[in-house]
């Protein structure tokens, strides 16, 4: 190359180096951002780079910042989100414990195919842990507990009797009632309609009747909000 062309080539090389530096910065941002302004401003020098408006853009798993998915670490959330297959399809089952006046004491969620008797211990334990007065003293333990035939089992009778609770659960039609260790109080069983009326009142709330929340924690929150409204109305009367 002759001497006459060295100076123009040197000046062009400096321009290319400056432009390449700017394009390298744009490429680094392109993997994570979407630049909505003229990208040629990067080539004018580092002093103009701060004036560029950069907007976030949701993309797939691309770049070092998009590896995997973020998962919620709530330990109280069950793995199945309290959703399961039953005869009615994808459903959720609400287990409610109330007192003689129909005031809700505790609620527990399971998938639709889970049997009621399998979570009786969790319902009673959860009520015992949360039912405390202003001095953190547990409230009075129930004397009797009524339930439908779904809770009829010998181990449930023994479990309630060990806790000092009288089971008020009818016997099934295919069993011998004389062999049962406890007698059935039909007069007290008539009050079981209280919890049925509580469930009927709860179904009037659309966010409870039709579950819109994916997680069981949010759905329980909606149920507890309905319970708060119930207690506010009860306090005014």
Q: pLDDT tens digit string along 104-137?
A: 999 999 999 999 999 999 999 888 888 877 788 7
168 or 181, greater pLDDT: 168
Residues 14 and 108 in one domain: no
Neighbours of 82 (CB within 10 A): 24
Q: What is the spatial distance between Cα 187 and Cα 166, in angstroms, rounded to a whole number?
A: 14
Q: Are 188 and 175 in contact (CB under 8 A)?
A: no
Residues 12 and 89 in one domain: no
Residues sharing a CB contact under 8 Å with residue 96, sequence separation 6 or more, in sequence order: 104, 106, 107, 195, 198, 199, 202
Instruction: Report whether pLDDT(164) > 60.
Output: yes
Residue 217 within any structural domain of the chain = yes
Residues 37 and 90 in one domain: no
Residues 11 and 58 in one domain: yes
Least confident stretch, 1-15, 43-57, 188-202: 43-57
Bridge partners of 36, per DSSP, are: none
- Please state, rounded to an integer, the average pLDDT across all residues of the chain: 75
Q: What is the spatial distance between Cα 198 and Cα 165, in angstroms, rounded to a whole number?
A: 22
In a 3-state reduction of DSSP, which class is residue 161? helix
Residues 17 and 58 in one domain: yes
Residue 152 within any structural domain of the chain = no
> What sign does the CA torsion over 40, 46, 48, 51 have?
positive
Print the domain residue range for 216. Answer: 84-141+187-236
Q: What is the pLDDT of residue 8?
A: 53
Phi, psi dihedrals of residue 62, rounded to the nearest 5°: -135, 135
Q: What is the pLDDT of residue 131?
A: 81
Total count of domains within the chain: 2
Q: What is the pLDDT of residue 58?
A: 45
From 16, 35, 66, the end of a domain falls on 66
Residues 15 and 62 in one domain: yes
Q: What is the spatial distance between Cα 44 and Cα 67, in angstroms, rounded to a whole number?
A: 34
Highest mean pLDDT among 140-144, 178-182, 197-201 belongs to 197-201
Q: What is the pLDDT of residue 85?
A: 85
Residues 110 and 217 in one domain: yes
- Could you read off the pLDDT of 10-53 as tens digits, one per residue? 454 444 444 334 433 333 333 343 444 444 444 445 444 444 34
């Amino acid at each position: 190359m002759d001497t006459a062309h060295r100076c123009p080539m040197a000046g062009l090389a400096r321009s290319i180096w400056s432009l390449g530096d700017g394009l390298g910065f744009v490429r680094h941002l392109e993997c994570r951002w979407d630049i909505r302004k003229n990208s040629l401003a990067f080539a004018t020098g580092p002093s103009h780079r701060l004036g560029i408006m950069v907007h976030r853009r949701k993309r797939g798993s691309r770049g070092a910042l998009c590896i995997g998915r973020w998962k919620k670490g709530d330990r109280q959330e069950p793995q199945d989100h309290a959703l399961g297959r039953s005869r009615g399809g994808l459903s959720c089952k609400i287990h409610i414990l109330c007192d003689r006046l129909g005031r809700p004491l505790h609620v527990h969620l399971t998938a639709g195919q889970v049997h009621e008797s399998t979570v009786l211990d969790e319902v009673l334990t959860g009520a015992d842990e949360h039912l405390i007065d202003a001095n953190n003293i547990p409230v009075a333990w129930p004397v009797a507990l009524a339930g439908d035939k779904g809770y009829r089992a010998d181990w449930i009778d023994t479990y309630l009797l060990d806790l000092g609770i009288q089971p008020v659960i009818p016997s099934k039609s295919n069993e011998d009632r004389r062999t049962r260790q406890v007698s059935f109080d039909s007069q007290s069983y008539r009050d079981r309609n209280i919890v049925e009326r509580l469930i009927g009142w709860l179904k009037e709330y659309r966010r409870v009747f039709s579950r819109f929340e994916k997680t069981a924690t949010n759905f329980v929150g909606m149920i507890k909000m309905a319970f708060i409204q119930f207690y506010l109305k009860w306090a005014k009367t």
